[in-house]
Structures are given as C-alpha cells and as structure tokens.
Amino acid sequence: MNSRSLTLSLLAVALAASSLRAEEGMWTFDNLPTKKISEKYGWAPDQAWLDHVRLASLRFPGGSGSFVSKDGLVLTNHHVGRGWIQRVSSKEADYVKNGFAATTREQEIKVPGLELMTLVAMDNITERLAKAVKADLPEQEALKARETEIEKIKKAMQEKSGLTCEHVTLYQGGEHWIYGYKKHSDVRLVFAPEMQIAFFGGDPDNFTFPRHNLDFTLFRVYENGQPYQPKDFLRWTQSDLKAGDLTFVTGHPGRTNRQDTVAQMTFSRDFAIPLRLKGLERRKAAMVEYAKLSPEAGRQVNTQIFGIENGIKAVTGQLSGLKDRSAMARIEAAEQDLRAKVAKDPKLAGFGDSWSRIEKATQVAKGLAKESLNVGTASSTLLGYGLTLVRIADEEALPSEKRLPEYSDANLKSQKTRLGVPSPFYQEQEIFMFTKGLEDAARELGADHLFVKAMLGGKPAAEVAKAAVTGSRLSDPAARKALLEGGKKAIAESTDPMIVLARKLDPIGRELRRKQEDQVTSVIAEHGTRIAKARFAVYGKNTYPDATFTLRLSYGAVAEYPANGTLIQPFTTFGGLFDRYDSWGGNAAKAHEGAWTLPQRWVDKRSALNPSLPFNFAHKVDIIGGNSGSPVIDRKGELVGLIFDGNIESLPGNYFYDEAVNRGVSVDARAIVHSLDKVYGAAGLVAELTGK
C-alpha cells in the first residue's frame, strides 16, 4: 500500500469514528438516533414527544416556525417573516422599519398569499417505485417512469386524505416518501419588532457570535374566521436554560450536499458556486442602484437586498468549505472506502461505474450552466406570471402523465391560486430590474443567442422593458384570472406584451430543460440512487439523509466554542447589547451605516431591562438555511429559544459538519417575553405565551 492510500484509509477510519461521536445530523422523524442520544444524555424522546413537536412545527415559505399558544399564535424569525411584513406595509406605514403590534385580535393584519404547513402524514413509497421502474431502463426512461408513478401516488393520496401531498427524495434517491401537509391559508400579522433590533449589528455581525438580535415575529393562524385551535403547541419554558443543557431543533433545513460525490463537489467548487455568486452580486448591484433613486425606492427593496447579502455570505461560506483541503481529503477518503467495498462485493457489481457516470454528467452541466442562469424570469415578476399562464394552458391540454411535474393535477390548483393572490407592484422598480436583467443576459450570452434575439428583437433592453411593463395588465389579479378562465385560446390570442414574450421564451426554456434532464438530471438521479443503495448495503441505514427542506430534528447542548485564540461564551445578555451599542458610539455615531444603533424606545427603556438576562445563545446543533424560525425545545417539550442563524464556522455545513466549532445561534425565550413586557408593553401577548 502506498503512503497516499494508507493516509486516505486512515482518514476514512477517522471520519467514521468522528461521525459516531459528533452531535451531527438533520434526522428524519422516522429514523432518530434515540440510542445514541440516550447513551450521552441519559434520556431520549419517545414517540409521543416526537409526535407532539412534529405537529407543533410549521413550514414557512423559505423557513420554519411553530405554534406557541392554544389560540394559533405562531412564532418565527423576523427575517423569515420580513418579506410578508413588507407586503402589508406601505409608504405611510413601514412595519419592517418601525415594527407592528396588534393590541386586539381585530387589529391583526391578514397577509395575502402566506401559507403555512403542518406535517401530518409520512408514507414510504420506495418499494412501490422500485416495482414500477424496471432495473434495466435507460436513465431518461427511468426518470420519466418514476415521475409518472410518483404523480399517480400523490394524486391518489391527496384525493383520499384532503392533505397537500409532496414527493420527498431522501438519501440521494435511496428512499422516496410522500409527505402529507395540513395547509393554513389565513395567516395574520400580530407583532414584529423594529428592523434595527431584529437585525442589530447588520451585515457585519451576520453569521457571527456573540450576537444580540431580537429576531422574532408573531403571526396567528385563523380558520373559518376564528383563531385556529391547534391540538399541539409548544408551551413556553418555565425553566432557566443553562450551559450544557440538551436542546432540540425541529425545522426545515433547506439543502445540504453531504452525500454528493467528490466530482459533484468539485463541480460546485470550481464552477457552479462561482457562477451563482456572480449572479447574486449582479442582482445586488442593481437593487442597490435602484434604492438610491429615492427613500421610497429604498423601502421597496431593502428586504430583497438583505436577502441577497445574506445569500452571498452563506454561499461564500459554503465555497470556503469546499476549499478546505483537510475536509475534502476526509470526504475523498470516505468515497474511496465505499467504492473499494462496492468493488469487492459481487452483489454490487452493477454500481461500480456510477461515480464516473456522475462525473461525466457534471462536465455536461458546465456547458449548460450559463444558459440556465440567464434564461430565466427572476428580473421580472410580470414575465413570471406570463410564463406560468402560458405553461398552465399548454400543460392542461396534455394527459396528466405527460405533463411537467409542477403542472400535474395535484399541483395545478396551487399554481392557479398563487396567480390570484394580490401583491404589491411597483412599476418603476419592475422596469428598472427587468432592464438590468435583459442587459445582463445580452452581455453574458451574446447578441446572437436565441434567448436574446427572442427577448430584445434587436432593440435596446430599456426600450423593451419599458414597453412590456407599461403595456401589461398582469399586475392585476383580475386580468390573470380572466386569462386563466379563457384557457389556451385566450393565451394564444392575447396581445399583452408579457404574454407575447412568454410565448417566445417558453419553447427556449423547455428545450434547455430537456437537455438538462436528459444529459444531467436523469443521470445523476439514477446513479445517485445506485450509490445510495450501495451505501445502505455496506453501512446500513445508520445515518441521516441530506436536507431537502422537509421537517428534521437536530440536537445538542448549549456550548461555548474556540475562536480567535479564546473561548466564545454560550450566552449573551441585555447588558451586552447595550455595551455593544455604547462601544460603537450609540445612535449619534451611526457607525457602518448605523449597524449598532437602537430604536429610540429601546434607549428610553434601558433602565427597565435586566442587564444580566440572557439575550442570545449558541448551541451544538446541526442546522442550515431553512432552519431559520425553528423552535428550540428542551427535553420537557417546552420552547426555550428560537433559531435565527449559525456562526461563520457553520457555513461549510452544506458539505460537512465540524463538531468543534459548528454552532446554531438562537434568541433566548426569556429575551422575547422580557422585551415584550418591558419595552413594548405587550402584556396580553406575554400572558398568552407564558400562560400566566
């Protein structure tokens, strides 16, 4: 054995050993490592505990939340709710900047379009799919056969249960499930703090610790015009959380890629992530330029700019993980160890070439990535509406089994519902961003590209964007509804400029999608499934799947961690908040665009606050984007905190977990009720949350 092989073998052993020790994993509720938890903490959740916290947990668009009162009160992060808060704000009432508090139920504001989901049912359909998809099918045919069977199962389950059913792929295709959700469509804003205390420290403090963020918002779910009465909700803690205490997080981590092959990670590191960062930077620059036009323009896009900046910092952190040589050496060693075991097992002989097939697919993906990034509608809300209308008309005319998955019978209703939801529309912003998007596409793809020719027709981007936006009626839900009801004939005859552009763009997008699915998606899906089956055969199902924005449970203790040559404390306090405020010169200084300033009411109420009371805390839980808004729960099933971030060291967690320094960052439950009581005078909410 040469020295490199010996080193990699030792690294594989070290990786396996460390994975057994680490408080690692975003675990599905059907496969929690209760024995491992019990061995370390002397206690583990039983089924009743798991069912209770699952049914109390909620999925937000892009984040997580939970029921926290018998009257349907919902807790999530301010930054998860921020876009929805902005949707009900106006030039005259900026609830993002200045906060909002309903003193009566009648003052709670209905949020159009906001839907929350409770996971009610989970059905494993892996064996049924295996029977429907023959083992010797070519990759493209296998993908289509699998999708057809999935839609058939989803439709039957949805009709039988009345739930919203979604297909869930776990273990890179090793398992397939249908998750059934109860949907909550009447959601109202109850309370939001000011942006400046919710995001105290601004972008400089983002993804860091110590932190002092009151990053929470309260909504309420209604049903039939009355506050919803959930059977399961999380009671507010009556105990004081301490360092070393065990915590659990139930939430919806968006996506990890820890089971990707080395070839996939290399593609992400060298190509996909840099391209994505370039796109994010371009979009941020356009938003910042627009924000400078006027205070009102700034108000319109501040939330979007925050989201983009957050994304840039997160993706940059992911890239740093892929550039970590020691971490990548461990991942490479683990892959080589699995491949060696597969090669030795005659029963797994058909799986040996799957890694090389995936590597070839990533090479094809390079040639399609730039087109995929630029042939899109992200720069135009109206063109997005137009494309959806065109595709609904086309897809509805097809048999269900031949449609794109997102336009199946099970999904069409929600597509149409979203088209009917009113939302704020700013014509000047739409023209500005559409112009920038078209200019970027022309620059990146070239004037002779089919997309550029179809969209611009030889005209300047600004001229095309202005004519299309000002001439379109798609900002009006009634106009969208009329086109929906008119069907394929109305869409084909429409002269609305956004529909005209959508009719040109749709075949180009479909062809690009076909290439992507035939040459990349189907290959990775099929061979990812084979690798997953090989992994199950070699190691068993003693691990967790990659995150898929489905409900997961993570666990770990409140803990310090080493950084900057010292130890970072597990808790921050109200006193620390004001120390940071004072140290940056207070409100008068406005250092770094006012990152460490405070709302005036906080300055006025300073003497009423307990400086020793915990504000935020760090704990050893495995989380990722999408976990924002997740409740933090103790072993009694009570709410002790609210996840709002991870530290900077956690950002490579998209690809691997480092137990020594990876930490979740949460708002302490005590900080929420203390602030509501002493700063905002919201005695009614305090009573509802605490039951006192």
Digit-coded pLDDT (tens) for 22-38: 689 999 999 999 999 99
Measure the CA–CA gap between 440 and 444, rounded to whole angstroms. 6
Work out the angle between the directed axes of helices 325-344 and 3-21 (0-180°, nearest 10). 100
pTM for the structure as a whole: 0.90
Average pLDDT over residues 478-496: 95
In this structure, of 46-50, 156-160, 413-417, 625-629, the range with the lowest mean pLDDT score is 413-417
Q: What is the pLDDT of residue 636?
A: 96
Q: Which of 624, 626, 557, 633 is nearest to 248 (CA)?
A: 633
Q: What is the pLDDT of residue 378?
A: 55
Structure tokens belonging to residue 189: 């804003």
What end-to-end distance do the CA atoms of the chain give, in Å?
69
Q: Is the separation of the CB atoms in 445 and 452 below 8 Å?
A: yes
Measure the CA–CA gap between 95 and 303, rounded to whole angstroms. 12
Amino acid at 622: D
Measure the CA–CA gap between 414 and 405, rounded to whole angstroms. 13
| Residue 15, pLDDT above cutoff 50 | no
Amino acid at 385: Y
| Residue 333, pLDDT above cutoff 50 | yes
In this structure, of 216-230, 397-411, 467-481, 605-619, the range with the lowest mean pLDDT score is 397-411
Amino acid at 225: G
Query: pLDDT tier at 379 (50, 70, 90 boundaries)?
Result: confident
* SS3 call for 343: helix
Over pLDDT 70: what percentage of the chain?
96
Average model confidence (pLDDT) for the chain?
A: 92
Query: pLDDT tier at 13 (50, 70, 90 boundaries)?
Result: very low
Q: What is the pLDDT of residue 18?
A: 39
Which letter does DSSP use for residue 270 in this model? I
Render pLDDT for 97-113 as a digit per residue (tens, 0 to 9).
999 999 999 999 999 99
Q: Which of 618, 622, 611 is nearest to 678 (CA)?
A: 611
Q: What is the pLDDT of residue 376?
A: 64
Stretch (H or E) spanning 620: none
Q: Which of 530, 151, 549, 571 is nearest to 338 (CA)?
A: 530
Residue with tokens 């939330």: 303
| Residue 93, pLDDT above cutoff 60 | yes
What is the C-alpha R_g of the chain? 26
> At 84, phi and psi to the nearest 5?
-75, -35
Query: pLDDT tier at 377 (50, 70, 90 boundaries)?
Result: low
Structure tokens belonging to residue 86: 């902005």
Render pLDDT for 584-602 as a digit per residue (tens, 0 to 9).
999 998 889 899 999 999 9
Q: Is the separation of the CB atoms in 359 and 270 below 8 Å?
A: no
| Residue 372, pLDDT above cutoff 80 | yes
Render pLDDT for 440-467 as a digit per residue (tens, 0 to 9).
999 999 999 999 999 999 999 999 999 9
Q: What is the pLDDT of residue 7?
A: 34
| Residue 17, pLDDT above cutoff 60 | no
Angle at 285 between CA 283 and CA 291, to 5 degrees: 105
Q: What is the pLDDT of residue 397?
A: 85
